[in-house]
Structure 1
Amino acid sequence: MRYRVLVFDFDGTIADTLGETRNIFNEIAPEYGIRQVEESEVPSLRHLSLKEILKELEIPKRRVPSIIARGTGMMRANIDRLQLIEGMASALQDLRPHAQCFGILTSNSAANVDVFLRNHGIRDLFEFVSSTSKLTGKARHLRAIRKTFSIKPEEMLYIGDELRDMKAAQKANIPHAAVTWGFNSYESLKASRPTHLFNKTDEFSQLISH
């Protein structure tokens, strides 16, 4: 495999958190004067970028860090009931021997991720869990991770389920893989022209032959 370091997003990529995220958002939305999101709206929102979602839901950008902090704290209380994406555990275990390092870069809290991974028996697959409280701050962290491992840009892959993940990897000048089982839609992710596009977890095996 040409990639030495694989870095994964967490929410929607490894963990099935979409429903829980909407529940938490709707619980705290009234406190911020923001409207709640109906389940029927989710399919259309999946086509939108982060900027477009904030505009659609009329969320002031300045309120985003506070909403994230509150939401991740509330998720910790329910972390034990969250599930892995179907097939993820075996896909990661099959892929792990072919890479030098696995890591996670997330907007969720490192503590939440650590508890979740341990609950599902896969914490030992990952060398690190890195967290950024800024929804658009992943590019800087990706560059720092690459420098930490002293690898070339083409030797690192970021795997995520959102358009902002693809944008961060592009900004950091590293290859990126989009997974279509998370938040953003297949159509929107494909249009972002990722290096790889996966519809099922067992398609990770394609990376081994590259």
Structure 2
Amino acid sequence: MKISTRTFPCVSRTQPCKRRFILRRCLVFDFDGTIADTLGEGLIIYNELAEKNGYNLINPDQLDNLRELDTNGLLKHLGVPKRKLPFHLATAMRRLRSRIEKLSLIEGVQDVLPLLRERSEQMGILSSNIPENIENFLEVHGIRDEFSFVSSIGKLSGKARHLRSIARTFSLAPGEIIYVGDEIRDLRAARKAKVEVIAVTWGLNSRRSLSRENPTFLIDQPSELLDIV
């Protein structure tokens, strides 16, 4: 796992707080669909690869149905062999690199990040995207200093193991971490790692599909993070 860190003054757990919230020792965000609105560009890139490799194309009117599927279901529907996924993912990340400046922040995220950082000793990102894309996006939008670390796993699976690695890196118990993600696989990884998870409905998977995974919390707007953290 690649972890790039940046330090900032941490809030002490014993520091008096004016608000009634629980200070989280570590708040970890997914990137694509949770912080960055990558769906539009991701769809364009997928269709470029699908046309070249003979996979099923995605039309915008299919998105509501596709948002109900987990990763395996989506690959089956699209006709993408699972064994070729690492290669295609790497290609997609390289293509996304040249489009970073086209990507928008999820509306409302920038407003809550400073407050969330104050309520966490560590706040970082754990993503399947590559470090260069994440770092460039954060710099473009002026929010790199809000995060104390960026962790990239470079593939779609393995987030549970990397959540445990983050716990070891910062000497945390699993219960001292909370993960924020928009996909079914994020929720399953958090459950496997025994960490709490906030499922957000503004990303890839639908509210209904996320709810079926019984996340610790389920929210529809970034401002709702302030009611939890």
Equivalent position of 1:106 in the other structure:
127
SS for the counterpart of 2:24 is: coil
Equivalent position of 1:192 in the other structure:
213
Answer whether contact 1:12 1:181 (CA < 8 A) is retained.
yes
Answer whether contact 1:2 1:155 (CA < 8 A) is retained.
no
Q: How far does residue 32 in structure 1 lie from its aligned partner after superposition? A: 2.2
Q: How far does residue 2 in structure 1 lie from its aligned partner after superposition? A: 4.2
Answer whether contact 1:13 1:182 (CA < 8 A) is retained.
yes
Q: What is the 5 A alignment of 1:53-132?
A: 53-132=74-153
SS for the counterpart of 2:129 is: coil
TM normalised by structure 2 equals 0.89
The counterpart of 1:34, out of the listed 41, 55, 59, is 55
The residue type paired with residue 118 of structure 2 is: P
Q: What is the 5 A alignment of 1:199-210?
A: 199-208=220-229
Q: How far does residue 153 in structure 1 lie from its aligned partner after superposition? A: 1.0
Q: How far does residue 94 in structure 1 lie from its aligned partner after superposition? A: 1.6
The counterpart of 1:161, out of the listed 182, 203, 207, is 182
The residue type paired with residue 44 of structure 1 is: N
Answer whether contact 2:23 2:119 (CA < 8 A) is retained.
no
Q: How far does residue 103 in structure 1 lie from its aligned partner after superposition? A: 0.8
In 1: Cα distance, 2:75 partner to 2:30 partner: 20
SS for the counterpart of 2:86 is: helix
Answer whether contact 2:183 2:204 (CA < 8 A) is retained.
yes
* Count of matched residue pairs: 208
The counterpart of 1:179, out of the listed 192, 196, 200, is 200
Equivalent position of 1:150 in the other structure:
171
Structure 1 consecutive aligned stretches of length 4 or more whose deviation exceeds 3 Å: none
In 2: Cα distance, 1:24 partner to 1:199 partner: 27
Answer whether contact 1:3 1:156 (CA < 8 A) is retained.
yes
Q: How far does residue 180 in structure 1 lie from its aligned partner after superposition? A: 0.3
Answer whether contact 1:179 1:197 (CA < 8 A) is retained.
yes
The structure carrying a bigger helix percent of its residues is 1
| 5+ residue gaps, structure 2 | 1-21
- Asked whether 1:11 is paired with 2:32, we answer yes
In 2: Cα distance, 1:132 partner to 1:169 partner: 15
Q: How far does residue 34 in structure 1 lie from its aligned partner after superposition? A: 1.1
Residues 17-46 of structure 1: CA deviation (Å, up to 9, x unaligned): 111100000011122221211111111000
| 5+ residue gaps, structure 1 | none
The residue type paired with residue 115 of structure 2 is: D
- Asked whether 1:22 is paired with 2:40, we answer no
TM normalised by structure 1 equals 0.97
Answer whether contact 1:161 1:180 (CA < 8 A) is retained.
yes
In 2: Cα distance, 1:33 partner to 1:147 partner: 43
The residue type paired with residue 59 of structure 2 is: E
In 1: Cα distance, 2:141 partner to 2:51 partner: 33
Sequence identity of aligned pairs in percent?
47
In 2: Cα distance, 1:201 partner to 1:102 partner: 15
SS for the counterpart of 1:47 is: coil
Q: How far does residue 80 in structure 1 lie from its aligned partner after superposition? A: 0.5
In 2: Cα distance, 1:127 partner to 1:99 partner: 10
Answer whether contact 1:3 1:154 (CA < 8 A) is retained.
no
The residue type paired with residue 121 of structure 2 is: Q
SS for the counterpart of 2:198 is: strand
SS for the counterpart of 2:48 is: helix
SS for the counterpart of 1:7 is: strand
Higher Rg: 2
